[in-house]
Amino acid sequence: MAEYQNMTVSSGEMAQRFIEFVMMQAQNAAFMLGQIPHPQTGKAEVNLDVAQMLIDQLVMIQEKTKGNLNSDESKILAGAISNLQIAFVEAVREEPADTASVKAETPPQVEQKPPTDPAPEPLDPDGKRKFVKSYGS
């Protein structure tokens, strides 16, 4: 099927699809960096691990397609990567202040019950454990 698509899609359409793909990945990374608010909550959410993964994927695509892109594709890809890398560094610089306030909060205390001694397991005459099915009684 890929062979059929390659024959029927012009190079201009492929360039446009590539640019759309790069922009979609860049938008996803920007969302993970908190630059785009969450559509349901309206609040910016930051996930640096996923953002870094998406940026690294764009860098990998840049390396793997080196010499195979036209000038527009190369410029858009390079620009997206550099903008995202700058945004990532800024997000990392802001991160310690956010995590410090979260860590300052005390975790909720969970009441711990003392362990109860389980009933001894029945043994077979051979000294092996005997299977006993219990229904909570």
Tens place of pLDDT per residue across the chain (137 aa): 555 555 567 888 999 999 999 999 999 999 999 998 888 888 888 999 999 999 999 999 999 999 999 999 999 999 999 999 999 999 999 876 545 444 444 455 555 555 555 556 666 666 666 655 656 65
- pLDDT computed for residue 104 by the predictor: 42
Class at the top of the CATH hierarchy for domain 2-103: mainly alpha
Domains of the chain, by residue range, sit at 2-103
What is the C-alpha separation between 105 and 86, in angstroms, rounded?
30
The crossing angle, in degrees rounded to 10, of helices 11-32 and 71-104 is 10
- pLDDT computed for residue 126 by the predictor: 67
Q: Are 87 and 33 in contact (CB under 8 A)?
A: yes
Q: For residue 25, what are the CA distances in angstroms to 7, 51, 77, 83?
A: 26, 10, 10, 13
- Spell out the residues 6+ positions from residue 17 whose beta carbon is closer than 8 angstroms to its own: 9
What is the C-alpha separation between 99 and 17, in angstroms, rounded?
39
